[in-house]
Structure 1
Amino acid sequence: MDDRRRPWLEGVGLLVVLAIAAAAFLVAKHPGGSDQQSVSTPTSPSAAASSPVPSPDVTAPPVKKAAKGSKARGGKARTTDPGIDVKADGEQCVNRSRTQLSVTSFNIHSGFNPPRTRQMLPTLAAEMKAMKSDVFLLEEVDQNRIWSGRVNQPEYFANALGMEYAFATNVLRPGNSRYGTAILSRYPILESHNYLLPRPGNTQQRGLLRVVIEPVPGRKVSLYVTHLEATSYAARVAQARVVAARIASDPNPVVLGGDMNSRSSSTTMALLRQRLVDTWSAAGRGNGLTHPNARPNARIDYVFASPSLGTTLTQVVPGTVSDHRAVRSVLDLAPDVPAQVCLPVLTDQ
C-alpha cells in the first residue's frame, strides 16, 4: 500500500469508530425513540367516582386497563405511566386532566321505606355511598322533624359520605320542623341560595336550591335541585317557567336534578328542555323508569345539564329504602377538549 495514503485511511477509520460510538450512545439514551423519564399526573380526589355503578337493570361496561409497562402489539400505544402514552411512530401523548363529574338526583322519601313504617337512614347512606357520586341532589329531606326522629338528615348524610351540604327549607312548621331539598358535594360549596317557586291555590311550597362548586380549577358549575308540585299540573308548569328563567340567567354551566312529578312528554319538561339537555335522552341505559321503586312505570326523576356539558352515561339505580329510584349521570365538563395532546418526541441530533 502507498504510504502516502495511509494517514488518510487512518483518519477515515477514526471517524467511523466515533460515528458508531455516537449512535450507540443515542440508542441507549432514547430506547424505542422516546424519553422514558417518569412523569406523574395529579389525580382528582374524586377520580373513583367517575365509573358507572352496576345495577340489576343496567350493566355498566367494564373498564379495561393495560398492565403497567406492557407493550402493545401491532403498532398500538403502550402505557409507560398513568398519564403518558408513547406511540410506535415516535409521538408522545399526554392525557388531559380529569373533567368528569358524577351527579345523582334522588328523592330519599325522608329516609323511610315505601310504606313509611320504618326509617332506614344507615341503609340509605350505604346505598348512596355505593353510587360513588361527586354530587347528590336530594328531595324530600327532613331537618328536626318529630316524625323522623329530629335528625338533621342533610348533615347525617354529609357526615356519612364525607361531603359538604346545603339545605333549603321549603316548609317550616312549629317547633322548628323543616322539610325541603339538599345538595351534597365532594367539592367545596362556594355559595348557596334557595328561590321559592310559585304556589298557586292550596299547594305545598316548593323551592329551587342553587349551589356553586368548582370541580376543575377555573371551571365553576351551578347545581340546582327542585321538587315540583305533585297535585297540580298548572302549578308544575308555573314552577317550571320560573326554573327555566332562573337557569337562563346563570353565568355558569348548569346541572339540574329533581323529582319533577312529570313525564318526559309533558309541557313541564318541554320548558326545561328549551334550556337544558335531558341526560337520559343523551346517554340513558335501560328503560329509565324511576317510580315506584319496586315496579316502576313512570319516569318522573331527572338530571338535566347545559348543552356545553357532555353526558357520558345516565342510569337508574334501584334501592331498598325510598319509593323512588335514583338517577345517576356522568358528565364531561369539557367535552370539546381532546382527550390527549400528542407531540413528536425529539431526539438529540
Structure 2
Amino acid sequence: MPKKSNTSLFLLLAKISHLFFCFCLMTSLCTPYINPIHLPFLPFLGLGFPVLLVINIAFMLLWLFRRSKWFWGALLVVIISIPFQMKIFSLNIISTDIPTHNKSQFKLMSYNVRLFDLYNPKRKEALNSRDAIFSYLRKENPDILCIQEYYQREKPGFFETSDSIMQIMQGPWFHKKGLYLHKSKQTFGLATFSKLPIIHKGNVQHKGPTGNNKNYCIYIDVVKSKDTVRIYNVHLQSIKLETDYYTKKITEGNQDETKAGLKRAYAKLKKAFTIRAGQSAAVSDHILNAPYPVIVCGDFNDTPMSYTYHRFESKLVDAFRNTSNGFGATYVGLLPAGRIDYIFHSNELNSSNFNIQKRALSDHRAISCVIY
C-alpha cells in the first residue's frame, strides 16, 4: 500500500512540475516578439529556452515510458517549439554553391577582438595574442573586415594595431568610430576595413545607458563589379558579468555573496536587454531607408531567442542558418552564451562558406562568409 501511495505522489508532483515547465517553455516562445521594456522577465525565459526544451523532452520521454496520455500533450508542445529550435540549431541538407565566374562575390569577416588582449597583465602574452589575431587575419584574407572592441593608440606606443591591419588588408579604405582619450591618445570602439572602394560612410546614432553612446554602429557603402552594398558593423550593449566582482562570486559557494551576485546579475541582464532593444530598433529602422542591399554584422550580445535577434532576422537572412549546420556558438567566455555574433544580409544577396574560427584568440570567435 505505501509503495502505491508513493508512486501516486510521484506522478502528481511530476504532472505539476511538467505543467510548470510547459508553461515556461510556451511563454518563452513569445520572447522574440515582445519588447523587454513591457515584460522585463520575458528575456530570461528566452535565455533559458534550451534548458526548458530539454526538461520538456525529458518529461515527454517519462510519459512515453509510462504509456501515459500526457505524452501526447508533451509531444505537441515540443512540436510547436520546432521553428524556434531551428533558430538555435541550424540544419542545411543542401549545400549552397557559389555560381561560377561570379564577379560580385567577396568575403566578409566580423570579429570582436577584445581590444587585442590589451589588458592582459602579462605584456608578452598580450603581444602574442595580438600577433596571433594578425596571423589569423592574414590567413583568412577577408575583403571586408568588421572589428568590434577595436583598439588603437597614436604613435609612439608599444601596442601598435592600425598599421598592421592596414597592411594586412592592402587597401586605403576604412571607417572607425570610438571613444577617444585625449590624454593617452587611445581609441576604443569599432573599425571597418575594406579592400573594396568605399563611396560613402556614416554612423547610426543610438543612446547608451546614460544617454552617452558607448556602443556603436557604423556603416560603409562599397562597390564591387558595379554593384553597391551597404555594410553595417554593430556592437550592441554588453552585459560584462564576468568583470563584475559580485557576479564572479556566484560560483564560489558563499551563500551571502552568491545571493548578492545573483541579484547583481539579474539587474545587469535586465538593464542590458532593455538597452539592446532600443539600439536594435535604431539600427533596424536605419536599414529600412538604405538605398542599397545591406549586410549587418557584429557582436549583438543576444541569443537567437531574443527580441534583438528577431528585429534583424524578420527583415534579413541569417547567413549562418542559410549556409551552415549546428549550434554555431561564437562566445567562449566563462559564462555560456552560445551564438551572439551574426552576419545578416538582404534577400537580394546570397551567402555561402560560413566559417566560425576554431581556435579562440579572444572571448569571441571570428565569423566569416562569402557574399554574392
Name structure 2 gaps, 5 residues minimum.
Answer: 1-98, 240-271
Shift in Å at residue 126 of structure 1?
A: 1.0
User: Structure 1 or 2: larger helix share?
Assistant: 2
Q: Which amino acid aligns with 1:291?
A: Y
Question: Which residue matches 1:109?
Answer: 114
Q: Report the CA distance shift for 1:145/1:96 in structure 2 as closer, same or farther (over 3 A).
A: closer
Residues 135 and 294 of structure 1: CA distance in aligned 2, closer, same or farther (over 3 Å): farther
Residue pair 2:235, 2:298 contacting (<8 A) in 1 also: yes
Aligned 1:88-103 pairs, distance under 5 A: 96-103=101-108
How far apart are the structure 2 equivalents of 1:173 and 1:262? 29
Task: Name the TM-score, length of structure 1 as normaliser.
Answer: 0.62
* Structure 1 residues 202 and 220: CA distance shift in structure 2, 3 A: closer
SS in 2 for 1:180: strand
Counterpart contact for 2:332–2:360, Cα < 8 Å: no
Indicate whether 1:308 and 2:316 are aligned: no
CA distance in 1, matches of 2:301, 2:225: 33
- What one-letter code is carried by the residue in structure 2 that aligns with 1:128? L
- 1:174 alignment partner in structure 2: 182
- What is the aligned counterpart of 1:161 among 159, 169, 192? 169
Change over 3 Å in CA distance of 1:116–1:100 after alignment to 2: farther
Of 177, 187, 191, the match for 2:196: 187
User: Is the CA contact (8 Å cut-off) linking 1:286 and 1:315 kept in structure 2?
Assistant: no
Q: TM-score, normalised by structure 2?
A: 0.58
Q: Deviations over 1:170-216 (max 9, x none)?
A: 32223232111111111122222123322133776122111111111
Please state how far the C-alpha of 1:166 moved relative to its aligned partner.
2.2
The reply to whether residue 229 of structure 1 matches residue 237 of structure 2 is yes
Contact 2:316/2:347 (CA < 8 Å) preserved in 1?
Answer: yes
Which residue pairs with 1:335 in the alignment?
Answer: none
Please report how far the alpha carbon of residue 224 of structure 1 lies from its aligned counterpart in structure 2 after TM superposition: 0.9
Shift of residue 307, structure 1, vs aligned partner: 1.0
Match among 318, 343, 348 for residue 358 of structure 2: 318
Alpha-carbon distance change, 193 to 149 in structure 1, aligned in 2, over 3 angstroms: farther
Please show how residues 221-300 of structure 1 align to structure 2 within 5 Å: 221-231=229-239, 232-292=272-332, 298-300=338-340
The structure-2 alpha-carbon separation of the partners of 1:154 and 1:304, relative to structure 1 and needing over 3 Å to count, comes to farther
Q: Which amino acid aligns with 2:284?
A: A
* Deviation by residue 1:207-260 (Cα, 9 ceiling, x = unmatched): 21111111112x101111011001311111100000001111101111111111
Question: 1:205/1:113 Cα in 2 relative to 1: closer, same or farther (>3 Å)?
Answer: closer
Query: What per-residue deviation string (whole Å, max 9, x for no partner) do you get for residues 37-85 of structure 1?
Result: xxxxxxxxxxxxxxxxxxxxxxxxxxxxxxxxxxxxxxxxxxxxxxxxx
Q: Which has the higher strand share?
A: 1
Q: Which has the larger radius of gyration?
A: 1
Report the CA distance shift for 1:184/1:171 in structure 2 as closer, same or farther (over 3 A).
same
Report the count of equivalent residues.
238
What's 1:134 paired with?
143
Change (3 A) 1:237 1:116: farther
The Cα of 1:131 is off from its aligned counterpart by 1.4
CA contact (8 A) 1:228 1:239 kept: yes
Aligned residues with identical type, % of pairs: 21
Conserved in 1, the CA contact under 8 Å of 2:177 and 2:218?
no
Alpha carbon RMSD of aligned pairs, Å?
2.8
Contact 1:142 1:180 in 2 (8 A): yes
